[in-house]
Amino acid sequence: MNTSVLRFPSGESIWMEIHPGIIQLARDILHEDEFLEASTLARMVSRSWGSKKGRSYAKLRLCDLTKPPPSRPLYYLRREIRGLPRNTRNCIRYLGDYIDILAKEMTFEYLDGNARRSSLGANAKRLIEKRSDLRVLAEKLKRYADFMYTPAKHDFILPRGRRHRFTPEEVVFAAYVTVELGRQILGVSKFATDAVEKDYLYVLGGRWGSGTRVKYGGGGLEGPTDT
């Protein structure tokens, strides 16, 4: 893809604000119009190039792009998006929580076992090894975990020259990548689709203080009640 059209009049570029692994993942996943829109919003939300008006528009667009269901974590994400260009780590974390939920359900559907208690990276690795039909999708999930979700949860060492672990520009691209990856998972997984549509059939884990999950097939179990 020719990115010269995305360079700014000053000669500077948003690419210096975004990890190459995130950019390459976005190029591999997004359609060209989505990539260009993400690039435009990244400039708007930027600390360096964004205006107050542009930042407000970009945040509204991101909230619309990532609107629930499922309620959690996407309602929590909306609050963090409104705080951009601050709160970048929390944005990436909540975006990753959404993909993690879907990946847990998809992996459990295809491989069973301990998928609902396994990390995103571990589930992606199992799918790569055991499901050749899902290998391409699983490899994208592994890269997503490596470049975004795992660092958002565990990496508290700032890269050289940065004041924050993630930039606002990276949040924009992460949002677009997350939505498209979610669509791809939902396209091949009934369990993941049910989790989103019924909005409680998924493992919440320790982030919200609950490990409860309603089992498929009824049985009188109730969903999580924490708020």
pLDDT, tens digit (0-9, with 9 covering 90-100), for 23-41? 999 999 999 999 999 999 9
pTM listed for this prediction: 0.81
Question: Are residues 70 and 202 in contact, defined by beta-carbon separation less than 8 angstroms?
Answer: yes
User: Which of 100-104, 137-141, 202-206 is least confident?
Assistant: 202-206
Judged by DSSP in three states, 196 sits in: helix
Give pLDDT, residue 66.
95
pLDDT at 186 over 90: yes
Nearest to residue 144, comparing CAs of 163, 125, 157, 167? 125
Eight-state DSSP code of residue 139 = H
Q: Rounded mean pLDDT of 160-175?
A: 84
Using pLDDT thresholds of 50, 70 and 90, give the confidence band for residue 15. low
- Tokens (6 digits) for 37: 């829109």
CA distance to 17, 152, 157, per residue, from 160 (Å): 12, 16, 9
Give pLDDT, residue 187.
97
pLDDT at 218 over 50: no
Per residue in 79-116, pLDDT tens? Answer: 999 999 888 999 999 999 999 999 999 999 999 889 99
Judged by DSSP in three states, 222 sits in: coil
- Residue-range domain boundaries for the chain: 34-202
CA distance to 109, 155, 214, per residue, from 41 (Å): 36, 26, 38
Nearest to residue 140, comparing CAs of 11, 221, 30? 30
